[in-house]
Amino acid sequence: MVSSAVLSFARSERFALLALVLAIAFPIACGFRTYPLFIAAQFAVFAMVALSLDVLMGRSGQISLGHAGFFALGAYAAAILSARFDVDLLAGAIAGAALAALGSLIVGLPATRLSGHYLGIVTLGFGVAVAQIALKWTALTNGDEGVHVRTIHLAGIVLSSPLHVYAVAFVALAAVAVFAARLPRTRLGRAFAAVRDSEIAAAAMGISVARTKVTAFVISAAIAGAAGALYAALTGFVAPEDFGISQSLLFFAMVVVGGTASTAGTLLGALVLDAVSQGAATVGGLSVALIGAAIVAVALFRPAGLKSLWRRGEGSR
């Protein structure tokens, strides 16, 4: 048992190191070209959201079908602050995370009484509502014409190059990945697991089930909000069409395909689906079909997700 845990840790250490070495090698390998750096940074941002969703789904046993809503709150907060007040990216990310965390209370508080399909519907409604508010509140969001972010700066440095944003995105992803990987070994992570496995047993152990569930929502939303701020900096433009149901379902699929409660699995799921999505964009309609096929294939042949490739004997959770 102990040796298995050590082996698992060593593997995760090696995985993290390999991932970071690849992150450094990639810009050199691609010759610092704009498009590959942009796509890689976009993957980093989407992977952050997928990891945030896994904190909620995999670690605390709740569901969100509207995570693009939290992502949107962060993106809009950072974009509007940057466009109107020339606010720094870090401050924008903090504001985005705070706004998303605040928004999560709208969903998190009902979550103390809801679970499963009912919670799924509430989160789905939240995601749709945020996109609609972004569309209709034109005085703030500029409606479907979107918000442009012309100049992005961080700690006094203007992020004028795709490599800048790439570096910031991967450092942020690394931080979130380390947090997600270490979470299960913390007191909070154990409380999440206890609530996930049995709310009655968790309550009997003195864990506040309601507070734990809301905390999971707040943490998950804050990470997604910060990722949204990075997304605004990366694309330089935010519009409601980018935060619809399909985006929420893409994040959901990344976690399911990768395997819940697994940092490496979720990262791999994000990588696979983002690569499929980008690679197939040159052929009309193929992207959606391939993502659907990937989900069906995983459900049929790897119901525990891609993590089961290296974690044998995993259940479906």
Partner 1 sequence: MRSRSRLAGIAAALLALSGVAAPACAEDAPGATVTGDTITFGQYADQSGANAAIGAARYGLDAYLQAANAQGGAHGKKLRLISYDDGYKPAQTAALVKKLVFEDGVFAIVGGVGSPTTAAVAPTLNDLGVPLIGMATGSPIFYDPTRKYVFPAWPLYTTDGKTMATFLKTHFAGKKVGIIYQDDSFGKPILAAVESVLGHVEEVPYSPGQVDFSSAVVKFKAAGVDALVLATIAAPAAQILNELPKFNYAPVRVLTGSACGYTTIFKTVPSLEGAYCAAFLPTPESKDPQWTAFEDAMARYEQGHPAEIYSAWGWLAGQVAVEGLRRIRGPITREAFVAALESIKSFHTIGGDLSYSAQSHRGIGGQFIWQAKNGRWLTVPNSKVEP
Q: In the complex, which residues of this chain contact partner 1 (CB under 8 A)?
A: 13, 16-17, 20-21, 23-24, 27, 32-35, 38-39, 42, 132, 135-136, 143-146, 148, 150, 157, 160-164, 166-168, 170-171, 174-175, 178, 231, 235-237, 239-242, 278, 281-288
Q: Which is nearer to partner 1, 108 or 240 (CB)?
A: 240
**Spatial separation of the C-alpha atoms in residues 227 and 222, rounded to whole Å:** 9
- In the complex, the smallest distance separating the C-beta of residue 251 from partner 1, rounded to whole angstroms, is 14
Judge contact between 237 and 146, C-beta under 8 A.
yes
- In the complex, the smallest distance separating the C-beta of residue 193 from partner 1, rounded to whole angstroms, is 22
Q: Which is nearer to partner 1, 115 or 278 (CB)?
A: 278
- In the complex, the smallest distance separating the C-beta of residue 187 from partner 1, rounded to whole angstroms, is 18
> What are the backbone dihedrals phi and psi of residue 76, each rounded to the nearest 5 degrees, phi first?
-65, -40
Q: Which is nearer to partner 1, 16 or 210 (CB)?
A: 16
- In the complex, the smallest distance separating the C-beta of residue 43 from partner 1, rounded to whole angstroms, is 11
- In the complex, the smallest distance separating the C-beta of residue 274 from partner 1, rounded to whole angstroms, is 11
Q: Which is nearer to partner 1, 284 or 315 (CB)?
A: 284
CA 36 to chain centre: 21
**Spatial separation of the C-alpha atoms in residues 220 and 230, rounded to whole Å:** 16
Which tokens go with 106? 């709208």
Q: Which is nearer to partner 1, 183 or 194 (CB)?
A: 183
**Spatial separation of the C-alpha atoms in residues 290 and 296, rounded to whole Å:** 10
Closest listed residue to residue 67, CA positions, set 300, 284, 270 = 270
Q: What is the dihedral of CA 131, 135, 137, 138, to 10 degrees?
A: 150
